[in-house]
Structure 1
């Protein structure tokens, strides 16, 4: 049951962000529209990666053997893509940031709350990537927890950034 709730929350977040970005934050600039599209794509990729934690959580907590087996096979396949997804999403989000620094920042100011939250989100993302790299090189309980913690903080900051009005 909890995994169905998590799938619903993810789906609602994607749909809500789509509606928010395209209907409540429209722009005339083609570059800003591209930046919005890049942000949407990166968000989906980041959600795919962060959901790996919840898949592992369901594997640990579930008492149904078939669910554990199915999710273990799925997670084994997905972990092969985890780093590639993270690098792709980071590249996409850097494109989003560059466009917004070029188009939006001169208009609203480089110290606007929307941009400051973006700076913070990218900083935490870089910390998460560094923690993931260290975990990939040599896994330990501390490195696993640190990577997980920074990833969760990143998602929180990125959600705050997404919904701060310009």
Structure 2
């Protein structure tokens, strides 16, 4: 039951963001359209990584053995890709940021709220990456919680950034 709700929430988020970006924020510039496309891909990849937390939460909380086994096998495979997905998404979102700084920054000002929220989100993304690297090198409860906390705050910030109008 809960997994269906979580799949629905993810699907709604992806669909709503696509509709918002492509229908309510259209642009004439092919570079800005490229930046929007890059942001959409990165959002999808970040969402995959963020969902790992919820998979582990279900594994811990469920009492259904089959669900635990199936999700544990799935998470074992997905965690092998967690770092690759994070670095790929970071590279893509850096391209998005560079294009927007080049194209939109001079037009709206580099202190614009949309750009400022992007600076904050990407800064927290790098904190999350460093926290993840440190956790990967030497795991501890504090490092796990810190990485998780920074990832969730980053997720919230990038959602806010996405819906701030230019």
TM range (shorter): over 0.9
RMSD: 0.4
Shift of 1:79: 0.2
Secondary structure of 1:68 counterpart: helix
Shift of 1:5: 1.1
Query: Match for residue 73 of structure 1?
Result: 73
CA distance in structure 1 between the partners assigned to 2:134 and 2:79 by the alignment: 16
CA distance in structure 2 between the partners assigned to 1:40 and 1:111 by the alignment: 23
Q: Which runs of 4+ in 1 moved over 2 A?
A: none
Q: Superposed, which structure 2 residues align to 1:116-131 within 5 Å?
A: 116-131=116-131
Compute the TM-score of the two structures, normalised by the length of structure 1: 0.99
Query: Match for residue 99 of structure 1?
Result: 99
Query: Match for residue 109 of structure 2?
Result: 109
Query: Match for residue 51 of structure 1?
Result: 51
Compute the TM-score of the two structures, normalised by the length of structure 2: 0.99
Secondary structure of 1:157 counterpart: helix
CA distance in structure 2 between the partners assigned to 1:32 and 1:47 by the alignment: 22
Query: Match for residue 141 of structure 1?
Result: 141
Please list every run of 5 or more consecutive structure 1 residues that lacks an aligned counterpart in the other structure: none
Shift of 1:121: 0.2
